[in-house]
Structure formats: C-alpha cells, structure tokens
Structure 1
Amino acid sequence: MKDKMGVISRDKNQINCIYANDSDFGKQLEGYLEASGKEILMINLNKTMLTPTQWQDLATDLNVGIEQFLELSKVENVDKTSTFSANDYVTILENNPEIFKGAIVMNGDKTAHITSVTEVLEYFDIDSAGIEEKSHS
C-alpha cells in the first residue's frame, strides 16, 4: 500500500511538486525546479499518494475537476466518455499513478498544473538561458 500524504504545507520559500516519475517529463522536472533556487519537495505519486481531500483541494485551487489531471486513455476498461465521481477518479489514480499528467507545482499561494517544460519556465517567469546561467554559477 502506498503512503498517504497529510496536509500539504505551502511556503513561499519552498516549491512542492506532485508528479509521477514514469514519464520523461517527470524525470526532468526536478532539475528545472532546482533552477528557482528554492527548497524543493518532490512528491512522487508512485511512492506517496495524496488523500482524496488533498486532490479535491488542488482541483478547487485550479478550478478544474480531478479528471483533468488524468490520462484515462491509459487505463484498461475505462471508457473516455464515462463519468465518475471525484472519489472514483482518486481511486483510479491510486491504482494507476502512471496516468497522472504532468505535475502540480505549488509555491506559496501560487498553484499550477503543468505538462511541459515550457510551462515550468513560464511558472517562474524565466527563460531557458536563465536556467543555464543559474546551473553554471
């Protein structure tokens, strides 16, 4: 059984990143976040699963349904046209963490669901040259 995570703390000096490390994007993510110069807390859904309440809080913060975080086409026996309750989506995710799309990044009161490196850079309002400079200094 995967560990369940308690309350997600938010601090402007720390970046919390919720992701699944199965994808190339998930594997590259930490390096990009480190360029911010802030403390980083990586929450890998393959090891630590959020609670249904935490998922609902994140979905509310982002003004989306939990299903927006999921790539349901990767789940056997789930029809894309099916609709489920929020708790059903959490259960599907708990059993299939690899279907999580991108990452959810939180810093202070700023929360974003990102699915590409470009969005990571936009989140911090920096360009790739800025990352290269920071990583070499």
Structure 2
Amino acid sequence: MGDIMGVISRDKNQINCIYANESDFGKQLEGYLKASGKDILMININETMPTPTQWQELATDLNIGIDNFLDFSKIKDIDNNSKFDANDYVTILENNPKAFQGAIIINGEKTAHITAVTEVLKYFEADSANIKHTAHNNAMDSNKTNDKDNFV
C-alpha cells in the first residue's frame, strides 16, 4: 500500500505528496500537510519513482508538460531549450531525481504542482474555509434546536 504502482490513488481523506527529499522542502511540506488533518502519504522519488504512466497522468491532470517538473539548472548538459518528448523527460527525471522541482500534491480530484511550501496553504484554503464555515453553521443550528427544546 505504501508505494504508488498502478493508478494513483485519489482518496479525499488522504493526501499524496510526490517530492524529492534533496532539500528541506520535503520536510517543511510534510509539516504543512499534516496541518490539514488528513492522512499523508509522502512519496519520495529517490525511493519510489513513479512509473512513466503515472508521470503522464500527473502532467495530464495538471495540464502541463512533464518538462515543467524539471529544474534544468540541476541537470548537466541539458537546458530548457533542448528538444525532448515526454518519454525523454520521464527518463531524465528517473536519472536525475534531484532535478524534480517542487512537489505534486494529490487529494481526491485535486492535483497541484507547487514550488513553494506556502502554496500548500492556498491549496487547502477552500477546503478549510468550507469546513470551518459548515462546522460553525452546524453548531449554531444545534444550539438553536437545543435552546428551543429547553424552552418547550
């Protein structure tokens, strides 16, 4: 269950985070993600490399090319003017996990490619606002009901 072979799991109660642990970014990210209160699956591509199919699926979900996942300054002899196809970019990623830029966060139907940990907050803003709002409304309703019950 720990790895992501096959189709990427899309569970609203779990956040999958695909990252490379070369930097503090991954550690900081995990802290931010835990604040969401959901189950977190951190997928370090240095240990578990997504399959070419999964990279394609992620790029498609995000509506970007696989080359957008790469920081070309971290790859010798390649720059972003080099012409490659999607399969080449997957191979480059597999051979240069440290060039993976940012992280990909998957939660239910939502997929985001972030390059700064603070972007996680934007990603969850809508969710947490709705949760707080809904919880607040429910509390208000139940109090009113209880008050009425007490008075009657």
User: Same fold, TM exceeding 0.5?
Assistant: yes
- Give the percent of matched residue pairs that are identical in Structure 1 and Structure 2: 75
**Aligned residues of 1:5 and 1:48 also touching (Cα < 8 A):** no
TM-superposition CA deviations, 1:60-107 (whole Å, max 9, x none): 100000000100121111133101010100101101100011100010
Q: Secondary structure at the match of 2:43?
A: strand
Q: Secondary structure at the match of 1:58?
A: helix
Establish whether residue 121 from structure 1 lines up as the match of residue 121 from structure 2: yes
Match in the other structure for 2:28? 28
Match in the other structure for 1:6? 6
Match in the other structure for 1:40? 40
Match in the other structure for 1:84? 84
Cα–Cα, structure 1 residues 108 and 4, in superposed 2: closer, same or farther, change >3 Å?
closer
Match in the other structure for 1:134? none
Q: Secondary structure at the match of 2:118?
A: helix
Establish whether residue 96 from structure 1 lines up as the match of residue 86 from structure 2: no
**Residue 111 (structure 1) shift:** 0.5
Q: Distance in 2 between matches of 1:5 and 1:71?
A: 25
For structure 2, the residue ranges without an aligned partner over 5 or more in a row are 129-152
Q: Secondary structure at the match of 1:83?
A: coil
Match in the other structure for 2:140? none
- Structure number with greater Rg is 2
**Residue 7 (structure 1) shift:** 2.2
Letter of the structure 2 residue corresponding to residue 33 of structure 1: L
Q: Distance in 2 between matches of 1:98 and 1:26?
A: 12
Which is worse superposed, 45-54 or 18-27?
18-27
Q: Distance in 2 between matches of 1:94 and 1:51?
A: 9
Q: Secondary structure at the match of 1:116?
A: coil
Letter of the structure 2 residue corresponding to residue 6 of structure 1: G
Specify which structure has the higher proportion of helix: 2
Match in the other structure for 1:130? none
Q: Distance in 1 between matches of 2:26 and 2:6?
A: 22
Q: Greater relative contact order: 1 or 2 (C-alpha under 8 angstroms, separation 6 or more)?
A: 1
Using structure 1 for the length normalisation, give the TM-score.
0.86
Q: Secondary structure at the match of 1:48?
A: coil
Q: CA RMSD in A?
A: 1.7
